[in-house]
Chains A and B, each alone.
Chain A
């Protein structure tokens, strides 16, 4: 089954403790992206990647890092999480080319205390 898998689905952590949210897709998609969703602010893009070893900042990249060493994986790294990074996070992927639909993971609900 074609899917985008995020782990963990839920995470509660403390301020400053480094964490990684993993994202994996099995569709051989070139494009992958991370979004965060907050009440009243909607979905905002954090980082995206157009292919292996190619990443770029989205609208709200501060406090986040990503890597794209393999095509299928696009982890989101929070080196020093802070409470304002408490949010619902979504990973997405799509194939390269025109008019292509994006597939989203089921989300990771992160709470930083």
Chain B
């Protein structure tokens, strides 16, 4: 049973470009969470999605960031017009039910140059 899969593992973007981060949850999990980790800091919640629905986006920046979890395919975290401050590790987690044990992917490390 494969774990949570994130890709790419590393992503380099120039300022102003778009970044797309992908997350495939564990088999049987329909709840997906995105977190951001700045260097030397803990993980901060960004958004919680179920299939085709955004349930809680209270941690998402109001501009440039969006997330989706379509009926088919992986969840996508999209960052438009990236700035240097977006450089961070972005982790995705999934769980079978809301608020139950969550499992994390290996993260995508975004570097904005």
A in complex with B: no
- Interface set of B (CB-CB < 8 Å, partner A): none
- Interface set of A (CB-CB < 8 Å, partner B): none
